[in-house]
Structure 1
């Protein structure tokens, strides 16, 4: 059999570009988002032989919120809420900002992002490099913290710029619908999913992914992961180190009825898990990833062996070089060598007591049940 030379192979490829691997090229910015891999992660925390599947959303250009960033802007354009060339203005702690910067370039809109001093310097520099205007609020709101201070500034900017559009990630149902693609990818990749583990901030990806998965797997168990100091699931709001999960307001997109249980994780516990992931699996991320991996590892160890667990890793580690992965930062905040307990504390109701370390609760209630929720920013 004659061996085909490199020269002949090259000529064949150049003459027949249709033979290139499908999906290997992208013709528009929108198509670079999605089709992220899943990785088998052994129980990195407790050393058992079991594990879970991690959906690595950090393989998107900016992380998981590239999906809603593009989707919310596209739907607003379709409905006529966002006219060509008009600005997009939003509050963000970081990841959605990257998604909106991507959408601004893809669809031709200037983007203004309101954040607070907790945003990492790398993230601020990246957002500006991507053409976004970044505005930092100087002080927290007396009751709503930094989150509400950012939202108030967004309202002021919207009043100054008639025709501007605010995606309002906390309450916009498009933030939920944007995750249909992620859910369908998981179905195709894993075939069966029994438990889904998600961090909860705006509530978008936990609601959106679980809603679609339940069409395939009606008995799906959704486990939420929050941070200590977050008010989403009924705990008192406190200053928080962890960004990307938790909230000091009550987002409308949180689907309380969908959760089987919730876990709160402390910063030191998340840092330890992030570093274990990095050292053992070369796949890690930020605060949310550490918190989710801790809970998913525990579920893998304690649930029946046949249980198939999928966990969403929202981002990668790069933006956390001076927080999660910085020994000096972690030492200043007492986060070094905080080894999580083998099992979480257990409370019967979110208002039983204030939690300060990894704790779980199987009673999930809407803290504002029967009350009017905060209005949508428009």
Structure 2
């Protein structure tokens, strides 16, 4: 029997799984009736938010000739970008080596291995830059040993920023416009990229960054952090400091409360970044004028956090349970004014 059905090639089929993610309205109990914000659910991508930059960075590197056919990709990551690179490696036919540290969750480690990714784990933190700098030092060693290998350098690569044009366009289509954008900040890619495109289309737009207590990105001292996926011990060049109108720091117990409350009331939740962003976005929804269109980026879902945020024993060990944030953040005028230990706000301009 003849058929007109043709089998598609795997690469474009896989790549089409990324993007067109839904938005979800988040309201009570985080806000009074009639108030709330829109959450962009990037967990709907196969590996999360960073599928977008991983595919885009690899595609652009191949087009420029920076990434030869079949050459290895090497990158430092705590998890989500590694999952995106695993997808990009399969799509474009490149072996991937991810440099991580002992904090990588077991589920992420096993998924990366299942996707054919090699995981290189550093064993001790850098004395100044912590695990993040130790991973970067190991990347340098691997690049020396493999001269044809390509380093996406997600912290500094402008392609990371440009990768989020599509996400911004989706928000414009879904919401008709965004008055306030709330983003967690780690490498700085999605906050810079989404804000740049939104402002190009609609002019004024208020950008709110959400960082972790103990992160050095916005001038606080670097400390050991429980939260992964946001915050940094280094200063990524992709962080568009001048684009932010305000920044908030959130502590782990505040993010845990938000994640678990989201799960119980909205059947929508995620990791540290999702919890921290929810704390800030819900406060903005309570305090800004009614009708303000607030969009918050939820980078991932809950799966990789079953041994941390959603583990009662872990939360009890680190005193993270049943400690909701205050109704209002503390306020500082300059990062050198005080070392923050709980939800704190700083107006940038």
TM-score bin (small chain) = over 0.9
Identify which of 68, 71, 85 aligns with 2:53.
68
Matched-pair contact (CA < 8 Å) for 1:43–1:297: no
4+ residue runs over 3 A deviation: 46-49
TM-score, structure 2 as length reference: 0.96
| 1:45 Cα offset (Å) | 2.8
2-structure distance, mates of 1:135, 1:47? 47
Q: Which residue of 1 aligns with 2:91?
A: 106
Identify which of 33, 38, 44 aligns with 2:18.
33
Q: How many residues align?
A: 343
Matched-pair contact (CA < 8 Å) for 1:37–1:55: yes
Matched-pair contact (CA < 8 Å) for 1:57–1:63: yes
**Residues 1:312 and 2:300 aligned together:** no
1-structure distance, mates of 2:335, 2:229? 21
Unpaired runs of 5+ residues, structure 2, are none
**Residues 1:275 and 2:257 aligned together:** no
Q: Which residue of 2 aligns with 1:291?
A: 276
Residue 64 of structure 1 aligns to a residue whose secondary structure is coil
Q: Which residue of 2 aligns with 1:249?
A: 234
Map 1:1-378; keep pairs closer than 5 Å: 28-363=13-348
| 1:337 Cα offset (Å) | 1.0
2-structure distance, mates of 1:95, 1:163? 24
Structure possessing the higher radius of gyration over alpha carbons: 1
Matched-pair contact (CA < 8 Å) for 1:44–1:277: no
Residue 57 of structure 2 aligns to a residue whose secondary structure is helix
Matched-pair contact (CA < 8 Å) for 1:46–1:342: no
| 1:339 Cα offset (Å) | 1.2
CA gap of 1:46–1:186, structure 2 versus 1, over 3 A, is closer
Residue 164 of structure 1 aligns to a residue whose secondary structure is coil
Q: Deviations over 1:116-172 (max 9, x none)?
A: 111100000000000000011001000000000000000000000011000000000
2-structure distance, mates of 1:302, 1:211? 25
